[in-house]
Structure 1
Amino acid sequence: MRAILAIDQGTTNSKAILVSEAGAVISRGASPVGIYYPQPGWVEQDPKRIWQSVCEAVRACLDAGPDVSIEALAVSNQRESVTAWDAETGEPLGPVLSWQCRRTAPDCARLIDEGHLTRVQSITGLPLDPMFPGPKLRRLLDDAPKGRRLRLGTIDNWLIHCLTGGRVHACDASNAARSQLFDLRAQTWSDELCTLFGVSKEALPQVLDSAGDFGSTLGLPGVADGTPIRAAIGDSHAALFAHRAFNPGDGKVTFGTGSSVMTTLSGFIAPAGGITTTVAWRISGTPTFAFEGNILVSAASLPWMTEILGLPDVGALIDLAATAEPGGPGFVPAFVGLGAPHWDSEARALFSRINFSTTRAQMARAVTDSVALQVRDVFTAMQRQSRTGFGALYVDGGPSRNRFLMQCVADLLGHPIVQCEAPEASALGAAYLAGLSLGIWPDLAAISDLPGNNELIRPQASDNSEQLQTWHDAVARSTFRPSHAKGE
């Protein structure tokens, strides 16, 4: 049997799957990755541990699967996390600065005060927010030992370096588009932005198509040296590809630590109103663009509230939430600020409209609803700017398997959603791209024809005006700062 080995390196786990020529997942493996918080707002990971976890996930996948001929490797990865290493030895020269890390908030504020926001957005499609890597790359350069020739990169870049024994320094266009140094229109690194952020262009990787030639393996345990690496793509983009969202207006919501709402576009549209424009994927030199809204804290609030209420697991929390009617207290999960469409790094989490009669079930419902309400904010912002409106809207990620939560999403959006049996959507999308590159699937139509197991969830008519008013009031409170009111 011929198969593609796909790696999905995420924030908390590295996963590996084997995908058959029929597009089916025939084996899987996973390994955890640690996260470190050296001080409030700082989030780091160990690049060596990330590579080790990938090797462990691959080994577990291969041990669990049948004997196959691995035709190619594919990589999907957590985005906006960056690291640096020595160009000669491959030794990491610092930690991975996570996409969750807020240490560059002062740098972003300074650049905004200096008037750079509009120009950065017009070139990259991204706001000046600590989530994005431009200022982080500068921090890595400042903190690295002097006198060394550095390489800077996103996680796909680091993994390709490791997978090829250091022979290839490359990333794909979707990850480059999230770096804050990439000109979306020109599809090249921007000299202007490299100068603005103080990043050496020579340290950056070559940018290739998402379905491209990233060299071949050397030293990956369990995999023959010389196995081609034929795809790399950011995890959220990969999930969009796995859902075959190839028509303009098709989109998806990935639920995880944070959430990503994406919809494909018919061409480049400059972003406005709190969302970003990005490269969904690039094939044969042609980019497909997408709108995206990045929600910083989504399902991560569920285990937090589960522990506070003393419940056994997140499933019990959602079951408790289902016993309460919507429209009770409001909750904004701004633990590290608010992402799209608000982009307020100083916002803070809060409950609102609670009193002595507020019940545990209502508190659980407020936290559960916040997952859906944040998606609605992004969805609404995208609708205002889209030329096509929304078509099919797919959902993936662990929380997407909960029917009650997904019904809340459909109801609040007023739009049907497609619940997918695709827990490994990101890895699967990367595998599809590798198969496309190899000719296993000749075109996008062939990928669209692969079997899937989807369920349509239609919105149920309801008056949610009170719930929305509570939510909007709570968001306003979370972003309110008294000093602003005093004109200071």
Structure 2
Amino acid sequence: KVKWIFENVPGIRKRAENGEILFGTVDSWLIYKLTGNHSTEPSNASRTLLYNISTGDWDSEILKELKIPQAILPRIIPSSGNFGKTRKDLFGKEIPVTGVAGDQQAALFGQTCFENGSVKITYGTGCFTLMNTGKVPVFSKNKLLTTVAWDIGKGREYALEGSIFIAGAVIQWLRDELKIIDTAPLSEKLALSVKDTGGVYFVPAFVGLGAPYWDPDVRGTIVGLTRGTNRAHLVRAALESIAFQSKDLINAMEQDVNSGVETVKADGGASLNSFLMQFQADLLNKPVILPQIAETTALGAAYLAGLYTGYWENTDDVKRNWQARKKFSPSMKEGQRKKMLKMWTRAVETAEGFKPL
């Protein structure tokens, strides 16, 4: 986008050379409006394709190739750092801005996933799974994204990330398009009204499949329908599809780091669905833990800010502040789990085999 602007907007390069033009991510725009400082931090900078996640600075080779002057880019400081103070005319006094991070990275921090291999899943319209990989970036062999997680002033820490395009959105589709449920919370009651899906598997690839498949041409597919299939079976299969896709991501991450995940922390709107959380624990064969404070992205930003100002002494102090609200323990028999996972794989293969000509 920046390259296009420089090539297509008359006079923009000259203005950039004169210091009249700045470019950055949303966080840097907010920081600039609040404080007058043009700054960002590593987790946001790493999403620009202009940042070198290994060196921790803007990539001079990429900038040269795209002919983008580095002078327009924000200064990069730690995620827990001094971004300046808000203008007095905004809130009546100056307020320090000391915690900034990308959405999912902040949620990872808000879930206190500070150790190597710790994982959180955010269940929203889409679904985002992140694993802390520590001080060394792990470059995925399973089509996952390697990103900076944060820098709390002690050097960059990294994460693996996998994105699912359609998660809670599949329930919205059942509600708004098929109109077989009136409200999203009703999905849990309907799912529990039947003992299983009756052999139905739902691959909600409405806009293709995200990680770890990355296949934009796949389309939504429902398999296993019989004359006895009813709306409860469809709703249950839709909810189960969210957990199946998340299981695929966890598998990919475990392969990339050559180590198993012990527990998974969950947040986001769909995590309020207890049927989904229990089924997720059963599929993963691992406990799924929900936090006391559901807004983990905001909590993560607050933790980052508090660490810099000294409100929290260190990450151990932050972990003591974090509290679990509920824990879902796996209870599914191994044979049933393996059978369901095999059938899910077959359903995905069926969807991949039926693409538009």
TM-score under structure 2 length normalisation: 0.89
Aligned residue identity for 1:386: V
1:111-144, Cα deviation, whole Å (9 max, x unpaired): xxxxxxxxxxxxxxxxxxxxxxxxx554565675
**Match of residue 272, structure 1, among 119, 138, 141:** 141
Report the equivalent of 1:458.
329
1:216-263, Cα deviation, whole Å (9 max, x unpaired): 112674x23421111110121111111211111111111112111111
**Match of residue 354, structure 1, among 225, 238, 243:** 225
Q: Say if 1:233 and 1:281, in contact at 8 Å, map to a contact too.
A: yes
Query: Does 1:286 find its partner at 2:155?
Result: yes
**Match of residue 383, structure 1, among 240, 243, 254:** 254
Query: Does 1:315 find its partner at 2:185?
Result: yes
From the two aligned structures, give the one with the greater strand fraction: 1
Moved more, 192-201 or 209-218: 192-201
Q: Say if 1:327 and 1:464, in contact at 8 Å, map to a contact too.
A: no
Aligned residue identity for 1:379: I
1:246-299, Cα deviation, whole Å (9 max, x unpaired): 111111111112111111113222221121221111011501111111112211
Q: Say if 1:328 and 1:467, in contact at 8 Å, map to a contact too.
A: no
**Match of residue 428, structure 1, among 299, 310, 319:** 299
Query: Does 1:473 find its partner at 2:338?
Result: no
Moved more, 137-146 or 154-163: 137-146
In the aligned structure 1, how far is the partner of 2:356 from the partner of 2:203?
A: 21
1:201-225, Cα deviation, whole Å (9 max, x unpaired): 333222111001111112674x234
In the aligned structure 2, how far is the partner of 1:202 from the partner of 1:468?
A: 51
Aligned residue identity for 1:311: I
Query: Does 1:172 find its partner at 2:45?
Result: no
Q: Say if 2:110 and 2:303, in contact at 8 Å, map to a contact too.
A: yes
Q: Alpha carbons of 1:169 and 1:265: their partners in 2 closer, same or farther (altered >3 Å)?
A: same
In the aligned structure 2, how far is the partner of 1:171 from the partner of 1:422?
A: 26
1:312-340, Cα deviation, whole Å (9 max, x unpaired): 21111221122230462222222222211
**Match of residue 175, structure 2, among 306, 309, 315:** 306
For 2:157, what is the secondary structure of its paired residue? strand
Q: Alpha carbons of 1:347 and 1:297: their partners in 2 closer, same or farther (altered >3 Å)?
A: same
Q: CA deviation at 1:409?
A: 0.6
Identity over the aligned pairs, expressed in percent? 33
In the aligned structure 1, how far is the partner of 2:95 from the partner of 2:214?
A: 42
Query: Does 1:444 find its partner at 2:315?
Result: yes
User: What is the count of residue pairs matched by the alignment?
Assistant: 346
From the two aligned structures, give the one with the greater helix fraction: 2
In the aligned structure 1, how far is the partner of 2:314 from the partner of 2:75?
A: 25
Segments of 5+ residues of structure 1 without an aligned counterpart are 1-135
For 2:109, what is the secondary structure of its paired residue? helix
Q: CA deviation at 1:422?
A: 1.9
**Match of residue 235, structure 1, among 103, 125, 136:** 103
For 2:22, what is the secondary structure of its paired residue? strand
Q: Alpha carbons of 1:264 and 1:195: their partners in 2 closer, same or farther (altered >3 Å)?
A: same
In the aligned structure 2, how far is the partner of 1:170 from the partner of 1:336?
A: 35
For 1:168, what is the secondary structure of its paired residue? coil
Moved more, 142-151 or 271-280: 142-151
Aligned residue identity for 2:31: I
Structure with the bigger RCO (C-alpha within 8 Å, sep 6+) is 2
Q: How well do the aligned residues superpose, as a CA RMSD in angstroms?
A: 2.3
Q: Alpha carbons of 1:144 and 1:300: their partners in 2 closer, same or farther (altered >3 Å)?
A: farther
Moved more, 318-327 or 241-250: 318-327
**Match of residue 163, structure 1, among 23, 34, 47:** 34
For 1:174, what is the secondary structure of its paired residue? helix
Segments of 5+ residues of structure 2 without an aligned counterpart are none
Q: Which runs of 4+ in 1 moved over 6 A?
A: 481-484
Q: How do 1:383-402 and structure 2 match up within 5 A?
A: 383-402=254-273
1:174-201, Cα deviation, whole Å (9 max, x unpaired): 1112222221111111123335556443
In the aligned structure 2, how far is the partner of 1:143 from the partner of 1:475?
A: 43
